[in-house]
Amino acid sequence: MALVLEFKLPDLGEGLTEAEIVRWLVEVGDVVDIDQPVVEVETAKAMVEVPCPYGGVVTARFGDEGTELPVGAPLLTVAVGSSAETSGKSDSGAGTADAEPAAADSGSGNVLVGYGTGAPPVRRRRVRPDGLKATGAAPAARVVAVPVSPVSPAFPISPASPASAAASGRGTGPVAVVSPLVRRLARQHDLDLRRLSGSGPDGLILRADVESAIRSAAEAPAEAPAEAPAVAPAVPDEAPARAAGERIPLRGVRGAVADKLSRSRREIPDATCWVDADATELMAARAAMNSADGPKVSVLALLARICTAALARYPELNSTVDQEAREIVRLPQVHLGFAAQTERGLVVPVVRDAHARSTESIGAEIARLTEAARTGTLKPAELTGGTFTLNNYGVFGVDGSTPIINHPEAAMLGVGRIVPKPWVYEGQLAVRQVVQLSLTFDHRVCDGGTAGGFLRHVADCVEQPALLLRSL
């Protein structure tokens, strides 16, 4: 007999509440070691391999690839004990029903938020599942003593109890919803969660259940006009339009970007100012630096170094607003974010302590983070904590933009393409390398004079890079 331990999706940190299964790394019946990665998931921040804190035989997996699970939902179950491992490794068919359950391993050495190195002693008695609590919290981990079959290592999962059925939203009982995003989606579409039957473990209502109910409600007038739909469209004429066309879920990176930009627009009274600058001398300085031996310097690295110098003069723009306390918080360090477009969508990696780095160091870190962004290996900590963002949209061949501030920061500098244009230089009309710079700033932290002074200093350093030496 072996102990079956249920491993749930752990809290991956940074306020993440859900993750999408990208790829299973183990099959039912496989023997896994402690801290062995068992599944690759995609959060709103990055791709993460999740290690299992138990060692034993995988008896069940929850969710197909592409399924979105909330934090606390079961990922898989593992039969722990020497008998379980024997049945997983051996094909001899020897019975192990009478074997005594072995003690579980002392715990995982690979820490993720939500479980750690000191797993508590395993409970040996059979525990009846209690379903989800009315608060929507995930059920406690279940430990069940069951015999291990050498023929089929996949153990059946017991059906939900009556308490679980009530919690799943059928009838008038509590609603089994863990994810606040699922609740918000239901509220937006005036959907009564108590009418839904969750497809997740123990009747847990997932995002897919809510989206399916919304689609059914939109199609209900044509299919069953006599029945009241679970969701009534706000405008009846919109039902045919909602049913037509390609529907792309706002989730993962795209969903996180949508939520953050929407919040920025709601909370921040932003304003934008811009200026054209002659970047000819900056490009000449870059060419001279790159003619020498050593790492090459990018335009983005030079602009990042100019930004840190300007923020030292205008610290108001390296701040955030505490709305509850009604205070402006000026931040001592500059953690410089930069916008990077990837196949997974727009991400903003962060160069830590950019104010203390040289141009070469900033360039090396930008290159490292950009490569990690393209391969999807950025860690959540590398995508958060920025205090100011640099957005080089000139790489898309455009001259100007009014960027949206990366909440909760106070400003963002946008850089257009650098192109030859007519320019008055030393009293004569000449063709120069011109760039448009735009600054979007939170009007709560400063007035236009401060924002204009910052942008003018950036433009002056672009036109005369030697001015940057005064800031060193």
Q: At what angle do helices 299-313 and 448-463 cross, to 10 degrees?
A: 140
Check residue 407 and report its DSSP letter.
T
Whole-number Å distance between alpha carbons of 383 and 348: 6
Cα 127 versus chain centre, distance = 35
- d(Cα 109, Cα 140) in Å, to the nearest integer? 22
Place of tokens 């900056």: 282
Q: Which of 298, 309, 371, 313 has the alpha carbon at shortest distance from 336?
A: 309
* Alpha-carbon distances, residue 318 vs 214, 332, 366 (angstroms): 43, 8, 19
Check if the beta carbon of residue 61 is closer than 8 Å to that of residue 76: yes
What is the rounded CA–CA span in Å between residue 324 and residue 331?
A: 18
Chain centre distance of CA 151 = 41
* DSSP H/E element including 104: none
- List alpha helices for 141-276, DSSP H: 162-167, 180-188, 207-223, 238-243, 252-267
Burial 187-200 (b: 16+ CB within 10 A, else e): eebebebeebebeb
* Sign of the C-alpha dihedral computed for residues 169, 175, 179 and 185 taken in this order: positive
Q: Token match 């710079």: residue?
A: 437
Q: Count of CB atoms within 10 A of residue 399's CB?
A: 17
**Do residues 444 and 269 lie in contact, with contact meaning Cβ atoms separated by under 8 Å?**
yes
* Bridge partners (DSSP) listed for residue 413: 390, 439
28 neighbors 61 (Cβ within 8 angstroms): yes
Q: Which residues are catalytic?
A: 443
Closest CA to 59 of 139, 157, 126: 157
Joined tokens for residue 460 = 């002056």
For residues 48 and 113, give the distance between their C-alpha atoms in angstroms, rounded to a whole number.
13
CA dist 350 to 146, 282, 303, 382, Å?
Answer: 49, 24, 15, 6
